[in-house]
């Protein structure tokens, strides 16, 4: 995938792009100032960079765009056409635009007819992104995007994207920096803390940190440009067989020599129709001997104890012992230094080598489990203390992230206490049904009856009559 950085239509942005040796530049013709009294030479303005031209969404001046494209067609690499533009005469340079997120039928038609389509991120949403992917795969269509959202860039198989957000660092004070394994964007309100946090990353990109802190336009813009260049190289820098010329090294073959011959790649104009169905070949079955165990897991065997019987001589003989396979974790690393996201800062990095670290973990006994839990608590405690140290250095208010990590530490301690608690706990649950009570169900019917009696056996019949008579007399006196 290629990343075209926009801004070629504005002189200050264009100067930054050329100064940072950007070889893929996007130009918005709507905002491009074309001189009227002298000839506009694209090669003298943009050098040897690849040029992709497009227009603003609300631009209605079709003739101006067509005239510009016809005049400079030889110097333009790609033309992102308008919905109302006829650019078939440009051949493979022309990319029709699809901008209506509701009209998926037109997207399917464009993919089928031309095999190329340009899509704005405004037309992409969570509901149609899977459909866009399936249509591009069905018709083998090339996708070109006008988006700066990394989640969208990484979600679809783009052939190229136009990134406009790098200019936000100059216009709105954003900070955009590549930290070794991801492109980070921070708003102007967080620029001070973000720049302190990524000081080493800024220096590694060859930008003067002090100039970035002082909001130097050249430094901030160059930081964003180089960050996007690193994003393109490190995220999508895999080998592309269509771009390579590796077969050139086999200039001639001597007798008896074996050479590689790459298949021919056809990139001609795609037919208008490829049929109404897709012919899918049946799956090829693998031999059972070709199946391998997942590398991250292992299998160990345990022989169970079988039944025993006594022989006539009094010997004990084991009968039918069974070998049982048990799954276990395989700690052998598969990581390689070349494709590890920590390669740029790992002290053990070695090109074309496997990971230089190993961590054999085995939790089979209670002591091993307790040791692992204690290590987790100690690790979390060190994170809390380091976060507290960072909070003091930054000299700002209370850090909510630190408070969250402290809560997590106490939760781990509480869970560790529950796991390590060896006290016996008896819990008794009794459910009473019908006329029987709880005591009757536990200790028998007699226990329930005794519980209902008054202390001392209660009152006899004569004592009850006397008590009622005294109560009535007292009531009459009142």
299 DSSP β-pair partners: 327
pLDDT beyond 80 at 277? no
pLDDT beyond 50 at 220? yes
- First-residue to last-residue Cα distance in the chain: 104
* CA distances, 331 to each of 121, 169, 274, 283, 298 (Å): 42, 44, 49, 33, 9
Of 118, 10, 126, residue with least CA distance to 57: 118
* CA distances, 364 to each of 15, 226, 258, 457 (Å): 63, 49, 54, 63
Length of the chain: 478
Of all residues in the chain, the percent with pLDDT exceeding 90 is 19
Residue 95 and residue 116 in contact, taking contact as beta carbons nearer than 8 Å:
yes
Give residue-wise pLDDT tens across range 395-439: 767 888 888 899 999 999 998 888 887 776 666 665 555 455 665
Task: Please tell me the number of Cα atoms within 13 Å of 371 on its side-chain side.
Answer: 8
For residues 304 and 302, what is the distance between their CA atoms, to the nearest angstrom? 6
pLDDT beyond 50 at 249? no
The pLDDT, as a whole number, for residue 446 is 62
Grade residue 377 by pLDDT with cuts at 50, 70 and 90.
Answer: very high
Grade residue 199 by pLDDT with cuts at 50, 70 and 90.
Answer: very high
The pLDDT, as a whole number, for residue 442 is 64
Collapsing DSSP to helix, strand or coil, 353 comes out as: coil
What pTM does this model have? Answer: 0.51
Handedness of CA 341, 125, 82, 243 (dihedral sign): positive
The pLDDT, as a whole number, for residue 178 is 92
For residues 127 and 131, what is the distance between their CA atoms, to the nearest angstrom? 8
161 DSSP β-pair partners: 3, 145
DSSP 365-424: SHHHHHHHHHHHHHHHHHHHHHHHHHHHHHT-S--HHHHHHHHHHHHHHHHHHHHH----
Q: Which residues of 100-122 are buried (b: 16+ CB within 10 A; e: fewer)?
A: ebeeeeebbbbbbbbbbbbbbee
pLDDT beyond 50 at 200? yes
Mean pLDDT computed over 220-246 = 73
Question: In the numeric block, which tokens belong to residue 107?
Answer: 């997207």
Long-range CB pairs of 449-453, under 8 A, 24+ apart, other chains included: none
* CA distances, 406 to each of 143, 364, 392, 414 (Å): 46, 30, 16, 13
Give residue-wise pLDDT tens across range 55-77: 887 777 778 888 888 888 889 99
What are the structural domains, with CATH classification, of the chain?
A: 2-236 (3.20.20.70), 438-472 (no CATH)
* CA distances, 165 to each of 172, 176, 198, 222, 384 (Å): 10, 9, 19, 13, 35
For residues 6 and 52, what is the distance between their CA atoms, to the nearest angstrom? 9
pLDDT beyond 50 at 275? no
Grade residue 250 by pLDDT with cuts at 50, 70 and 90.
Answer: very low
DSSP 187-212: -GGGHHHHHHHTHHHHHHTT--HHHH
């Amino acid at each position: 995938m290629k990343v075209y950085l926009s801004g070629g239509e504005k002189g200050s942005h264009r100067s930054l792009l050329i100064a940072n040796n950007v070889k893929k530049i996007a130009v918005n013709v709507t905002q491009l100032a074309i001189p009227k009294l002298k000839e506009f030479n694209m090669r003298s303005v943009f050098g040897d960079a690849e040029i992709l031209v497009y227009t603003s969404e609300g631009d209605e001046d079709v003739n101006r765009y067509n005239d510009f494209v016809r005049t400079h067609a030889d110097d333009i690499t790609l033309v992102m056409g308008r919905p109302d533009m006829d650019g078939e005469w440009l051949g493979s340079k022309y990319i029709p635009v699809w901008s209506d997120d509701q009209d998926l039928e037109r997207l399917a038609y464009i993919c089928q007819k031309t095999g190329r389509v340009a899509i704005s991120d405004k037309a992409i949403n969570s509901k149609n992104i899977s459909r866009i992917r399936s249509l591009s795969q069905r018709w083998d269509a090339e996708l070109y995007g006008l988006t700066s959202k990394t989640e969208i860039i990484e979600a679809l198989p783009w052939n190229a994207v136009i990134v406009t957000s790098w200019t936000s660092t100059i216009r709105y004070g954003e900070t955009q920096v590549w930290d070794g394994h991801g492109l980070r964007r921070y708003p102007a309100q967080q620029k001070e803390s973000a720049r302190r946090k990524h000081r080493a990353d800024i220096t590694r990109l060859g930008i003067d940190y002090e100039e970035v802190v002082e909001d130097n336009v050249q430094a901030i813009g160059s930081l964003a440009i180089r960050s996007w260049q690193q994003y393109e190289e490190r995220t999508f820098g895999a080998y592309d067989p269509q771009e390579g010329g590796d077969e050139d090294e086999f200039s001639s073959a001597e007798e008896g020599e074996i050479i590689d011959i790459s298949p021919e790649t056809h990139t001609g104009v795609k037919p208008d129709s490829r049929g109404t169905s897709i012919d899918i070949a049946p799956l090829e079955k693998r031999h059972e001997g070709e199946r391998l165990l997942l590398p991250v897991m292992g299998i160990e065997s345990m022989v169970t104890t079988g039944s025993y019987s006594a022989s006539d001589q009094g010997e004990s003989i084991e009968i039918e012992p069974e070998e049982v396979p048990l799954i276990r974790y395989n700690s052998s690393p598969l990581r390689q230094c070349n494709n590890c996201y920590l390669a740029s800062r790992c002290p053990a990095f070695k090109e074309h080598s496997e990971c230089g670290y190993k961590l054999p973990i085995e939790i089979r006994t209670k002591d091993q489990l307790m040791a692992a839990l204690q290590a987790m608590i100690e690790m979390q405690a060190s994170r809390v203390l380091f976060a507290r140290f960072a909070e003091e250095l930054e000299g700002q208010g209370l850090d909510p992230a630190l408070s969250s990590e402290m809560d997590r530490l106490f939760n781990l301690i509480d869970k560790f206490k529950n796991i390590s608690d060896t006290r016996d706990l008896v819990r008794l649950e009794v459910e009473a049904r019908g006329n029987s009570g709880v005591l009757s169900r536990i200790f028998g019917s007699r226990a329930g009856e005794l519980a209902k009696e008054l202390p001392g056996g209660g009152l006899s019949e004569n004592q009850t009559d006397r008590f009622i008579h005294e109560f009535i007399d007292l009531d009459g006196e009142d």
